[in-house]
Amino acid sequence: MILPQLSPLDMAVVTALALPLIVLHAGVVNAILAAIQLCFHGARVPLEYIYARFLTRRRDQHPAIRDTTIFEGFMIRGIRVFFPLIPREVFKTTLSTELWTIVLRWRLLSRGFFKLPVHAERVDIRNLGVSCKATWIKQNPTETPDVVVYYVHGGGFGVGSVAFYLEYLLAWHDLLVKAGFKNPAILALDYTLAPEKVYPTQILEVLQGYRVALETAGDASKICLAGDSAGGALLLSLLLEIGAQAGMDKLRRRNNKASEAGTDPRGRLAAPGMAILISPWVTLQSKLHGKSPVDYLERERLWAYGRQYAGQEAMLSLSPASPGSCRDEAMWKAASPTKGYYVMLGKGEMLSGDIDDFVARQKGYGVRVNTLEDASGIHAWPMVRFILSSPERRLEGVDAIVKEISANFAHK
């Protein structure tokens, strides 16, 4: 199912629902602080956008300004202005499960749908002291999937929810079916947000979620990891753990102490078929994190989110908390998915230098990496475009993703 783009009425409903939830969950003080920032800086958004879009010569405009709709560009500019200013608790509420579960119900009912046309199931993941939730999207829950997409969402480790991403992932599922997959499944993880819990909690939850995906798929080669931003970082941390387990297993065999992976009480994990990384936050803090004139991310605020996740200052430069800090070629080779990576980034995003460095290093190690750099793209552009762009362009990122999955996994 692919619902139409957000309408002005939808935006009004989101706003009306969000305001009381912000007061309830973020607190009166944070709500007042956010309101003050909106009052003091609200005028910046239209003024900056008008200057960039209408008062700057077209040939001097960045593609992220020139090639987007007015609505899309205005909304991105608004996020850019307020991202460094609004308290995290307010952002957390605006992307929360509680809000976006209601919004999706509204969008379905207002378009004449009383329920989702596919099976969507909320599940608990409990194993080895880990407790979190996830959502399954399945075409036929009684049959084994022909591909399982294991999705880990972004949000700086501190905001975001599967509910916010659910409509986007339903579009993935719809296009996978249209591409010829008989029973595609998507498992989307709601990991514990920081700073309520810090590293390594999130990685342990991602590991257990991967075990659930593996049990359902029955074969690691049928699993496609996918995630954006901080979700991409967590998936790289997962892959490094898989690589570390493979290295330990190899060492055991060499020392004739064990010949079976089962000697590891956790059970050695097999590498997935491939990984799709959308604007991955490869390194928590890096000199390669630039300052973009168009991206909505702001470096210092993003780093603050990273510090909340890491828990300790030392973890900011250590893997697997900061996967880009790992420079061990053998480890990355052992960690790589069997069919490699598909990396998507925007030319205008602040993380592009770090992502380019990761891609170059992986290729230098002999790992297969395909990339898609969008000239007018910013951070997590496939998701941003799906929410904000025109009907003609909103599926560009999802289409590219589904084509890559179709090219690498057996179907039909």
DSSP labels for 6-63?
A: PPHHHHHHHHHHHHHHIIIII-HHHHHHHHHHHHHHTTHHHHHHHHHHHSS-GGGS-H
pLDDT at 412: 61
Q: What is the structure's pLDDT at 121?
A: 96
Residue 253 has pLDDT above 70, yes or no: no
DSSP class per residue in 258-296: --SGGGSTT-PPPPPSEEEEES---SSS-TT----SS-S
Which pLDDT belongs to residue 247? 66
What percentage of the chain carries pLDDT values higher than 90? 92
Residue 267: the pLDDT is 62
Residue 257 pLDDT level (bands cut at 50, 70, 90): low
Residue 134 CB partners (closer than 8 Å, separation 6+) = 122, 123, 125, 162, 187, 188, 189, 190, 209, 212
Q: What integer pLDDT is reported at residue 123 of this predicted model? A: 97
Give residue limits of the domains in the chain: 8-95, 117-252+268-409
Amino acid in the structure at residue 203: I
Give the residue with greater pLDDT, 127 vs 135: 135
Q: What amino acid is encoded at 26 in this protein?
A: A
Reported confidence tier of residue 259, pLDDT bands at 50, 70, 90:
very low
Question: What is the separation of C-alpha 204 from the centre of its chain, rounded to a whole number of angstroms?
Answer: 17
Q: What is the pLDDT of residue 261?
A: 38
Contact 88, 3 (CB under 8 A): no
CATH superfamily of this structure's domain 117-252+268-409: Alpha/Beta hydrolase fold, catalytic domain (3.40.50.1820)
Question: What does the alpha-carbon distance between residue 275 and residue 266 come to, in Å, rounded to a whole number?
Answer: 22
The count of C-alpha atoms lying within 13 angstroms of the C-alpha of 89, restricted to the half-sphere facing its C-beta, is 16
Interval 373-398 mean pLDDT: 96
Beta strand 223-228 with 274-278: parallel, antiparallel or unpaired? parallel
Could you tell me the pLDDT band of residue 265, with boundaries at 50, 70 and 90?
very low
> Average pLDDT of 367-375?
98
357 residue type, one letter: D
Per-residue pLDDT at 398 exceeds 50: yes
Q: Is the pLDDT of residue 258 over 50?
A: no
pLDDT for position 255: 67
| Token pair for 306 | 């990273």
Q: Considering the chain, what is the average pLDDT of its residues?
A: 94
Q: Does 386 have pLDDT greater than 70?
A: yes
Dihedral sign from CA coordinates of 394, 49, 346, 285:
negative
Task: Please give the average per-residue pLDDT across 343-353, as a whole number.
Answer: 98
Please tell me which residue, 282 or 260, carries the higher pLDDT value: 282
pLDDT band at 128; cut points 50, 70, 90: confident
Instruction: Kindly state the average pLDDT of the residues 196-212.
Output: 97
What's the average model confidence in pLDDT over 275-301? 97
Q: What is the mean pLDDT of residues 323-335?
A: 96
Q: What is the pLDDT of residues 11-56, one digit of tens each?
A: 999 999 999 999 999 999 999 999 999 999 999 999 999 999 999 9
Q: What is the mean pLDDT of residues 341-354?
A: 98
What is the band of 110 on the pLDDT scale with cuts at 50, 70, 90?
Answer: very high
